[in-house]
Amino acid sequence: MSLVEFLILLVIAGICGSVAQALAGYSRGGCLVSVAVGLVGALVGSWVARSLGLPELLQIRLGGGTFPILWSIIGGALFVAALGLLTARRPAG
């Protein structure tokens, strides 16, 4: 994978992470957090899809590999929602 392909992958992961954060309604951090959410979402979403026997939809081929767009967004939303539940602020009292 070349440097340009890697940068394109990071941009796509950032967009998927931003969409996932918007769907979950929980947004912390900036661009780097969105990229991390997109990459973790791709792992979580692909794992869930394989576990349920669902097909890979909306993939992008880069450098001989593929990046699952749809499962990245779904997995990222699940990941961000779980983080939101774990780090929810509780009222003082």
Domain definitions of the chain by residue range? 31-77
pTM: 0.84
pLDDT in tens, 34-70: 999 999 999 999 999 999 999 988 888 888 888 889 9
Residue type, 11: V
pLDDT at position 18 over 90:
yes
Q: What pLDDT is stored for residue 64 in this prediction?
A: 84
Compute the half-sphere exposure of residue 26: CA atoms within 13 Å on the CB side of its CA: 16
Please name the residues in contact with 42: beta carbons below 8 A apart, sequence gap of 6 or more: 13, 16, 67, 68, 71, 72, 75, 76
What's the mean per-residue pLDDT of the chain?
A: 87
